[in-house]
């Protein structure tokens, strides 16, 4: 579709049928047609180790190349111990290296955080924002998406439990599309 923006979506959990994956799929369905969203698989990335850069693992090279090909990034993540899940932090590290070749730079971003408790992933949302500042991802400030009691939000088939949540997430994705239009580098 002409004018479409490519978005890389990063689910924070590695579980195939976990909330991250189901919620990510729901967001793809709710997104405006102006966004072409592709989910990134991050579970097979070897842990970042600068000693390996001279003969970087192929998985690192593939992710960096794929990341360079997107216009924006979206993170859909649970909170692990009040912070960023290890696999997601590793993906950020892999994409930001080697020094001077940051694949994230300048790509507009947004975060949807969640928890099965009431806090909605507040801790992960703000820790992730700190990392994204450093890797030069201008992150959408409003609306914020903290989804509490996420186990009740989406069923095992990926269907959102209520129309209010669906309407909020549809508006969030529309706002993200607007954010991309305002902040993405012109190519």
For residue 110, give both structure tokens.
Answer: 């947004």
The more confident residue out of 76 and 116 is 76
In this structure, what CATH number is given to the domain that contains residue 143?
3.40.50.360
State what percent of residues in the chain have pLDDT above 90.
Answer: 86
Domain boundaries, position 16 = 5-183
Task: Check residue 126 and give its pLDDT.
Answer: 96
What confidence tier does 2 reach under pLDDT thresholds 50, 70, 90?
Answer: low
3-state secondary structure of 83: strand
Nearest to 9 by CA among 70, 56, 83: 70
pTM of the model: 0.96
Burial of 184 from C-beta contacts in 10 A (0-12 / 13-18 / 19+)? middle
Average pLDDT over residues 92-96: 98
Distance of alpha carbon 126 from alpha carbon 148, whole angstroms: 15
Number of domains into which the chain is organized? 1
Region 103-123: mean pLDDT is 94
User: Is a pLDDT exceeding 80 seen at residue 124?
Assistant: yes
């Amino acid at each position: 579709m002409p004018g479409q923006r490519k978005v890389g979506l990063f689910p924070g959990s590695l579980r195939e049928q976990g909330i991250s994956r189901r919620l990510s799929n729901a967001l793809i369905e709710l997104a405006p047609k102006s966004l072409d969203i592709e989910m990134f698989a991050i579970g097979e990335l070897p842990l970042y180790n600068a000693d390996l850069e001279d003969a970087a693992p192929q998985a690192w090279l593939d992710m960096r190349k794929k990341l360079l090909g997107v216009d924006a990034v979206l993170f859909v993540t649970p909170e692990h111990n009040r912070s960023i899940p290890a696999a997601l932090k590793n993906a950020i590290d892999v994409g930001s290296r080697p020094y001077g070749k940051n694949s994230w730079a300048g790509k507009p971003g947004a975060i949807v955080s969640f928890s099965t408790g009431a806090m909605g992933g507040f801790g992960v949302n703000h820790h992730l924002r700190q990392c994204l500042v450093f890797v030069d991802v201008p992150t959408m400030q409003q609306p914020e998406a903290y989804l509490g009691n996420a186990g009740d939000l989406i069923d095992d088939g990926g269907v959102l439990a209520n129309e209010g949540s669906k309407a909020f997430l549809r508006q969030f994705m529309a706002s993200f599309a607007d954010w991309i239009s305002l902040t993405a580098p012109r190519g």
